[in-house]
Structure 1
């Protein structure tokens, strides 16, 4: 049985170090073959081509491992086991063999029992010129029961036509129409088109369904996909939620599917999550699972460089996970049926709330998507939803969450935006807190779309960076280095700047504006009068510091604090009491207006 194929990059633009390394010339060919000269090395101990031995041993029924190599020539193959011990990588050779063939052939041999931790990896050294490597696979000779798995991929999209088309074309070619794919016939796609701008003829395929949907944010689109799968004639076992603008890997989907077919019974209700890798730095992992911590979010394994062996091995070490992002989250339908549908939070933290219900999470090397880094986006209305949804989630899931803790989070958010001179966002933070305090009846009956439209007026206007050239002496050269943060100053300097509110009452120290990313090291803004925030589209939004707005913001915040003291406890009880009403199929059919949309599809 094939467990995991050796995979090569799908195109020349992909980062090769995630797939292979070596001392050979980069002669990877279009027919997915690598040619090695004598003594050249092909190292497959990489993010995509190592084998997550410890995870397979713990979670699946596989006990023994084989490896098969598809090659022509003369090869020395060394099989390594690598694991983390006392913070360092410990490596041992568990198999060494020479393979020789004048013709293309597949040679398979036993590696032995799976180790209970770490990874297995292969290194190939050519013994003559012209050795050709076509691929290979990890497999098992164990006789195993294979579960019937069918995964519905749910994609929520809003005016991201080109991203969706790209991903669907890739899925068709590599899985949906590829009879050689391990998961062929086991994936189907439901695209929830919140903008209603996609055309059905562009997605004509028996395993791709396009449905128009009321624009109720990401959670509305993802829930619509869940509802479609629940009502389908197919017996889906899992729902895989994926962002519309993420770059997917068919190898991840293949690995996900095979792993699910072999899960031990005690882990069948676990969620399989995918790591988020930065699109602008395609070997850097943004996170692999997260912890909510009642709002003090901790992204796990952030900034791991997946081109390095040490980080590939470290990435396999398990930590407590509380949720996985819906850029890639494969949820068993047993959880959806048992725990009902998501909470209608519109935007942000819907994946967190749903993840808090899960029985457990599994993360594997090689299961990921590439996505734009979040710190390169201006938050806008998210500043409202983060505070409001923070209150709702903790009210429901953490009865001991206190008004003091809520006020602390509100204070941090408000102070952060004050320090960045983003006073409009302070208004969004405070509105989020006040709306949370309105309680369940308000939340249940609010016109979500009208509310979101109202929040739009608190966005900052972005312009092309060229529009700022010459403004107060800014040059094109001044605006080039915004992606690179200054070093964090020593503690005494930081303390002084905090106590002086980053120097807002001191005279400005420079005439030119400071150009930064939307989530800068705040100490960079010390005594700056004007800041221009540059988003992932290369557009800038300018803000100015204001002592008047600072004082006004804190006065407004303390008024909200008094409201929190008055209403918090009763409101939390209200949300907990009525929680089930917001996650029922009855509510969602009404919310999505499905009674009048059941035939509304392209």
Structure 2
């Protein structure tokens, strides 16, 4: 067993020889009170077969320490025309519900009815676990807020998981996240990483920060296949928020700090995370917890530009110490320059044809623009004055 540090160096903690003629199970014990074993870093094991083929069936990390809290998890899913994906996700969650301490799943559907025969059968079988609410389209902020309200009113949940309707989920990661929450020293917001569904070994996003007029992403585009890449997870990154593709909140956070601001779509997750951060509640994004999801740079058609500009303006009015307003001329220029598709890598809008018919490059400056603060070389939004908005009205 080894401990890998953030600088990529490793030290061996222990070594054990197992005679498979006498045993089919083996346990290696370490004490985290030890300065080396308990130091910040990543624990991992290496297994070598001496003289015959070896197959590892199962490995687990366990502790003899009693958990600090019991967890009853409610799952909130906001859906819009994603019936097949929601069905697949709910079926997976139902299978692990007892082990993952899932007490309730609320699906707020804001699109076409979830009325397939397979979904109706699932509702009949899981009628105690699953609740489906049909409502008009109030966007992601309204859908998640409604689901959280229903779970709070039921009074069964200590924590609430916000889960996107279009994720690909190994439901076992919910069990991992719940185990972490049970032993965490403090009441924390627990996030999962987004793995690029188009590049399935690449982490696209793992939470971030907004400060000094910029947005900083943790573990941006980290390739997971090379073992040396795992050194990035040997330390806990500072995080103000995590996207709502997979984020678990203590239920008390909604009682104390309200719900997300009603922006319909975009920026609500950033604002709510920073609201909790500034109230003293930490956000932790766990390396073992991740989902596959379409990157949001593939979801940026021109029709979202209005929401991005407006919502980042609201954000800037709430947190001027983190984000300053952009100049109106810059906002207008980028609105007029957009033909509906953002370039993911160049940091600007698509090129346009010049007077001679050839394509000419048109770059934007790495400052605030239509979609928000500069984020990884791209521009996301403008910021200006707006009214303070706290929660979904009754």
> TM-score, normalization: structure 1?
0.55
Structure-2 change in CA distance of 1:522 and 1:275 (3 Å): farther
Candidates 169, 174, 181, aligned match of 1:260: 181
Q: What SS does structure 1 have at the residue aligned with 2:252? A: helix
Q: How far 1:151 moved relative to its partner?
A: 1.2
Q: How far 1:407 moved relative to its partner?
A: 3.2
Q: What SS does structure 1 have at the residue aligned with 2:235? A: coil
User: How far apart in 2 are the matches of 1:198 and 1:285?
Assistant: 31
Pairing 1:108–2:27 present: yes
**Cα offsets for 1:262-308 (capped at 9, x unmatched):** 121xx21x211111110010111111111233763322210111222
Aligned to 1:152: 74
User: How far apart in 1 are the matches of 2:211 and 2:247?
Assistant: 20
Candidates 172, 196, 205, aligned match of 1:278: 196
Q: How many residues align?
A: 362
Candidates 17, 32, 52, aligned match of 1:129: 52
Q: How far 1:413 moved relative to its partner?
A: 4.9
User: What is the correspondence of 1:347-426 to structure 2 with a 5 Å cutoff?
Assistant: 347-358=265-276, 359-398=281-320, 405-408=324-327, 411-416=329-334, 418-419=336-337, 422=339
Q: How far 1:193 moved relative to its partner?
A: 0.7
Q: What SS does structure 1 have at the residue aligned with 2:154? A: coil
Pairing 1:168–2:90 present: yes
Aligned to 1:26: none
Q: How far 1:133 moved relative to its partner?
A: 1.5
User: How far apart in 2 are the matches of 1:207 and 1:224?
Assistant: 17
Aligned to 1:96: 15
Aligned to 1:190: 106
Following TM superposition, the consecutive aligned residue runs of length 4 or more in structure 1 with deviations greater than 3 angstroms are 293-296, 410-419, 483-486, 501-506, 521-524
Structure 1 spans left out of the alignment, 5+ residues: 1-78, 426-459, 461-482, 489-493, 515-520, 525-560, 590-602
8 Å contact from structure 1 (residues 315, 365) kept in 2: yes
8 Å contact from structure 1 (residues 242, 327) kept in 2: yes
Aligned to 1:83: 5
Aligned to 1:203: 122
Aligned to 1:507: 356
8 Å contact from structure 1 (residues 345, 389) kept in 2: yes
RMSD: 3.2
Structure-2 change in CA distance of 1:112 and 1:303 (3 Å): same
User: How far apart in 1 are the matches of 2:179 and 2:352?
Assistant: 57
Structure with bigger RCO (C-alpha 8 Å, 6+ apart): 2
Q: How far 1:412 moved relative to its partner?
A: 4.7
**Cα offsets for 1:370-408 (capped at 9, x unmatched):** 11122223423210001101111221233796xxx4233
Q: How far 1:503 moved relative to its partner?
A: 8.3
Structure 2 spans left out of the alignment, 5+ residues: 365-381
User: How far apart in 1 are the matches of 2:214 and 2:303?
Assistant: 20
Structure-2 change in CA distance of 1:522 and 1:242 (3 Å): farther
Q: What SS does structure 1 have at the residue aligned with 2:58? A: strand
Candidates 46, 61, 64, aligned match of 1:138: 61
Candidates 158, 161, 164, aligned match of 1:243: 164
Aligned to 1:341: 259
Aligned to 1:291: 209
User: How far apart in 2 are the matches of 1:373 and 1:380?
Assistant: 16
Structure-2 change in CA distance of 1:208 and 1:295 (3 Å): farther
Aligned to 1:434: none
Q: What SS does structure 1 have at the residue aligned with 2:302? A: coil
Structure-2 change in CA distance of 1:171 and 1:99 (3 Å): same
**Cα offsets for 1:322-379 (capped at 9, x unmatched):** 2110111111112110001111100111111111111211112111111112222342
Give the number of the structure whose residues are more often helix, by fraction.
Answer: 1
Pairing 1:231–2:153 present: yes
Q: Whose radius of gyration is greater, 1 or 2?
A: 1
Aligned to 2:368: none
Structure-2 change in CA distance of 1:414 and 1:278 (3 Å): farther
Structure-2 change in CA distance of 1:165 and 1:502 (3 Å): closer
Structure-2 change in CA distance of 1:160 and 1:484 (3 Å): closer
Q: How far 1:91 moved relative to its partner?
A: 1.1
User: How far apart in 1 are the matches of 2:80 and 2:297?
Assistant: 21
Pairing 1:310–2:228 present: yes
**Cα offsets for 1:60-101 (capped at 9, x unmatched):** xxxxxxxxxxxxxxxxxxx1111123xxx1011111111122
Q: How far 1:583 moved relative to its partner?
A: 1.6
Aligned to 2:391: 583
User: How far apart in 2 are the matches of 1:203 and 1:213?
Assistant: 20
User: How far apart in 1 are the matches of 2:283 and 2:305?
Assistant: 28
Q: What SS does structure 2 have at the residue aligned with 1:240? A: strand
Q: How far 1:162 moved relative to its partner?
A: 0.7
